[in-house]
Structure 1
Amino acid sequence: MFDLRDLYMQVIVDHNKAPRNFGVLKAYNHDADGYNPLCGDKLHVYVNVNDDDIIEDISFEGEGCAISVASASLMTEALKGKSVSEFPATFNDFQHMVTADIAEEPDEEALGKLAVLAGVREFPSRIKCAVLCWHTMKSAVEDSHKVAVTE
């Protein structure tokens, strides 16, 4: 029988070994740094938002644990093509999912592939690793010049 925990681990390994949208964008108009002092993850997010407020392209670079890299990879895939105005709801949905009770089923309709990261709930100390990229993206689209942190 296929277990959700197995899927969680497979996705983390896959996106950590071959992160999607990794590297500096050639053209971007928003960017931000993120840092998780708990485990040392460092991340930089690059975003190109067009005149219609659509995230035309997004990437990241940095170094961190497997969960941090995989979460950033999945986030970039999920946000590309969405409007910046959709980001706060997606951010809140993701934040709720990773901090919800373990028994609560993730909202797969709202989160799509991101729902697999619900498995991070079983490892409370790793939640900050999963949300670092989201806080960094928030800083980028808000044009904050502060380093996004998980503390």
Structure 2
Amino acid sequence: MSFNNLDSLYRQVIMDHYKNPRNKGVLEDGNLTINMNNPTCGDRIQLSMNVVDGIVTDAKFEGEGCSISMSSASMMTQAIKGKNINDAIKLSSVFSNMMQGKEYEDDLDLGDIEALQGVSKFPARIKCATLAWKAMEKGLKEEEQS
């Protein structure tokens, strides 16, 4: 597949998650709620997760922001459901490396998340893409310590 076709496909995936976000809403029975914002652009997110016996059983988000931040939140909530805390944090680290243009473990099936790979070429947008991931990581690390 040519670069232009791949770029177009990735854009379609990002816009699909933006226009039809997965897991948008608030978990009524969530035991973790994290609020974060990106003051440089105004993106904000409220992430709620339910963690039972070290497993993320559910995750939802509310917020406002650009297509990159909201689609990234949608993709992230899909990716972490059913994962244990360590695997979810590891996935966040892999995503962070991808956003920084660093080598990352490509043996993981990132699914739709790979569509955000091109964001690494736009440093000002990396914070948009990582906002939800940082919220997730913060919440899970706090959960581990409690």
- Which TM-score applies when normalising by structure 1? 0.85
Equivalence for 2:32: 30
2:104 and 2:5 map into 1 onto residues whose CA distance is: 14
Query: Gaps spanning 5+ residues in structure 1: where?
Result: 145-151
The number of aligned residues is 141
Query: Gaps spanning 5+ residues in structure 2: where?
Result: none
2:24 and 2:52 map into 1 onto residues whose CA distance is: 20
- Which TM-score applies when normalising by structure 2? 0.88
Q: Is the Cα contact below 8 Å between 1:93 and 1:111 reproduced in 2? A: no
Q: Is the Cα contact below 8 Å between 1:30 and 1:143 reproduced in 2? A: no
Structure 1 counterpart SS, 2:76: helix
Q: Is the Cα contact below 8 Å between 1:98 and 1:120 reproduced in 2? A: yes
2:77 and 2:43 map into 1 onto residues whose CA distance is: 17
Sequence identity percentage: 44
Identify which of structures 1 and 2 has the higher relative contact order when contacts are C-alpha pairs closer than 8 Å and 6+ apart. 1
Q: Is the Cα contact below 8 Å between 1:47 and 1:59 reproduced in 2? A: yes
Q: Is the Cα contact below 8 Å between 2:94 and 2:104 reproduced in 1? A: no
Equivalence for 1:65: 66
Q: Does 1:131 align with 2:130?
A: yes
Q: Is the Cα contact below 8 Å between 1:55 and 1:81 reproduced in 2? A: yes
Equivalence for 1:18: 20
Write the deviation string for residues 20-51 of structure 1: whole angstroms up to 9, x where unpaired.
00000121111101101111001000000112
* TM-fit CA distance, 1:108: 6.1
Matches within 5 A, 1:57-136: 57-100=58-101, 107=106, 109-136=108-135
